[in-house]
Structure 1
Amino acid sequence: MAELVREGDTLVLRLTSIEKVEALHGDIHVPISSVQTITVIDDVIHAVHGLKLPGSRLPGVFAMGTFVSLEGTIFAIVHHQTKRGVKVTLNGVSFDGLIVGVNDPEQLISSLGLAN
C-alpha cells in the first residue's frame, strides 16, 4: 500500500513496486511549501474523476495514476479495500493534487504536521 510521508521539507508519496507498474509512475516528491490544503475524504474511490492518463482504473474498485479533469491534474492511489483517504491540494508543481487511500486519514494528517 502506498505511503504518504514527510521527509524534512518534502512530502513524499512512496509507491509499492506493483503500484508503480499500475500507475506507470514512480514515487512523487513535492515541496511542503506547495501544499495548500489536506482534507479527509470519506468515500475516496468515488473522489477520483477525469480521464486516466496514464495509469490503471476499474471504476469503484481501484484508481492508480494520473487523472485529468476540469479540476486539474490529480495523481491517485486508491485501492478497493481502503474506503477513506486524503486529498492534498498542491500549487506550483506538476500535479494539482494527490488523492491517496489510507486507513486512518486523521492520524496521517496529524503525523505530517499539515493540519489546516
Structure 2
Amino acid sequence: MALIRIDGDNLVVVIEGLDKLWAFKSGLTIPLANVRGATADPGIAAESKGIRAPGSRVPGLITAGTFHQDGEKVFWHVKDPSKAVVIELADEEYARLVLQVDDPRATVALVENALV
C-alpha cells in the first residue's frame, strides 16, 4: 500500500514495507505544481499496463513499478484494485501514478484540496 501526504508544496508518496521490493522504489516526491488531479478508479486495473521495466506483475496479485505505454511512463503500485487512485502529473518523469491507498475518497480529497 502507498501512503500519500502533502508536505509543504510537495505530494509525497511512501511505499510501505516489503512492497518497496516489488515496486523497485521506496517513494516519490512530486511538486504540487506538477499534479493535475486525482481520481478513484477501481476499473484501471483492467487496462493494459504496457511494458514493465523495472517492476513486478503477477496478475490478480500485484502490479508494481514502472510501466511504459504509448510513450509514457506510469508508476503502479496496486494489489487491491478497489482501492486504486490515479494521480495525473505534468512535466514529471511519470505521466501518472496508479496507487493503492487505504481510503481512496479521502486520498482524492487530500490531493484535490491541496491543488486549490
Is the TM value for this pair above 0.5?
A: yes
Partner of 2:104: 105
Structure 1 pair 105–88 and aligned structure 2 pair: CA distance change class (3 A): same
Per the normalisation by structure 1, the TM-score is 0.86
Partner of 2:74: 74
Partner of 1:23: 23
Counterpart Cα distance in 1 of 2:46 and 2:60 = 7
Decide which moves more: 43-52 or 86-95: 43-52
Partner of 1:87: 86
Count of matched residue pairs: 115
Q: Relative contact order: is structure 1 or structure 2 higher (C-alpha 8 Å, sep ≥ 6)?
A: 2
Per the normalisation by structure 2, the TM-score is 0.86
- Aligned-pair identity (%): 25
Shift in Å, 1:84 = 2.7
Higher share of residues assigned helix: 2
> Where does 1:28-43 land on structure 2 (aligned, <5 Å)?
28-43=28-43
CA contact (8 A) 1:65 1:77 kept: yes
| 3-state secondary structure, aligned to 2:18 | helix
Determine whether 1:61 maps to 2:47. Answer: no
AA partner of residue 97 (structure 1): R
AA partner of residue 110 (structure 1): A
Counterpart Cα distance in 2 of 1:40 and 1:50 = 21
Counterpart Cα distance in 2 of 1:77 and 1:107 = 18
Moved over 2 A (4+): 42-48
